[in-house]
Amino acid sequence: MAGHSHWANIAAKKGVVDKKRGKLFGKLSRAIIVAAQHGGGDPVMNLALRYAIDKARKASMPKENIDRAVKKGCGELSGENFEELVYEGYGSAGVAVLCDILTENRNRTAGEVRKIFEVHGGNLGSTGCVAWMFERKGLFLIPSDAIEEDELFEVALEVGADDVSANGDVFEVTCSIDAFQQVSEEFEKRNIPTNLAELSRIPDTTVDLGVEDGKKVLKLMEALEDHDDVQSVTANFNIPEDIMAEVLAD
C-alpha cells in the first residue's frame, strides 16, 4: 500500500482525523464556499459543489453550516475570498509531497507551510517540482471484511472504475474524475461502506522508507494536515509492513 491510501490508513490508526475534527468543519466550509463561487449554488448543476456537500454530510456537518457556506460562496452572505493553491515540496528521503490549499492570504500560508517542511526535515519546492509524479483520480478505500473482492471488482468495473486492488485490511478502488460521482452513488446504493471516498492525487511511483525516515515523514504529514489552510496532503512514500509498528511507536 502506498501514496495517499497508505497515509489515509496510517492517519486512521494514529487518530489524526479525530484530533483535527474541531477544524474539519472549517475546512469543509471553505471547500463548499469555493465550489459555489466557481460554479454557482446548485449542486445538481455544479458537480464540485455536490462533491463538497456530500463530503460535509458524511462528516456529520450540520445542514445550517452547509447552507451558510453555500450562501457565502454565492455572495448572499459576506465572507472571505479564498484562493486555491497547490504547494509542492520534499520530505525526508526525497519523498514528494503535494498540499491542496484554500487560503485568504497566500503570503502568510506560504511562510507557515515552508516552516512546517523545514521543521520536519523537508523543504518547500517550486511550482511543478513534484506534481508530475501524481495523477488526479477518484479514490475509495473499502474495508476488506465488508465485501468479497470478486463482488467488489464486478460492481466497480460495471460503473466505470479503473482498478480494484487489495491493500492490507482495505480494498482500494480508483476511477477517473468524471466517473467519481457515479461510482460513489453506486457504492452508496448497494450499502458498500467506504473508509475514504475522495478526489485524490495518486503517485506513479513510491519511495520505500526505513524507520527513521518513516517517522519524520509521518510527522510532516500530520503537521501539514493540522494546518487550517491545508485541505489535503498527498505523498509518494511507502512503509513496509514489517517495520510499520516500529514507525508508528512514539
Distances (CA, A) of 166 to 94, 101, 158, 213: 27, 30, 18, 26
Please list the residues that pair with 230 across neighbouring strands: 101
User: pLDDT band at residue 8, thresholds of 50, 70 and 90?
Assistant: low
Contact predicate 89/130, CB 8 Å: yes
Tell which residue, 51, 120, 53, has the closest CA to residue 91: 120
DSSP per residue, 27-50: HHHHHHHHHHHHH-S-TTT-HHHH
Lookup: cell for 192? 458498500
Task: State pLDDT tens for residues 155-177.
Answer: 999 999 998 988 778 898 999 99
According to the model, what pLDDT value does residue 16 have? 56
User: pLDDT band at residue 17, thresholds of 50, 70 and 90?
Assistant: low
According to the model, what pLDDT value does residue 80 have? 82
134-203 CATH: 3.30.70.980
Segments making up each domain of the chain, as ranges: 134-203
DSSP per residue, 112-158: HHHHHHHHTT-EE--TTSSGGGEEEEEEEEEETTSS-HHHHHHHHHH
**Angle at the Cα of 200 from the Cα atoms of 21 and 202, rounded to 5 degrees:** 130
DSSP SS3 for 55: helix
Question: Which residues does 111 contact at the CB level (< 8 Å), separation at least 6?
Answer: none
Q: pTM of the prediction?
A: 0.85
DSSP SS3 for 19: helix
Any idea which of 58-62, 94-98, 216-220 has the lowest mean pLDDT?
Answer: 58-62
Helices 21-39 and 47-58: crossing angle, nearest 10°? 160
User: pLDDT band at residue 122, thresholds of 50, 70 and 90?
Assistant: very high
Lookup: cell for 235? 505523498
Q: What percent of the chain has pLDDT over 90?
A: 66
Helices 63-73 and 21-39: crossing angle, nearest 10°? 40
For the chain, the average pLDDT equals 89
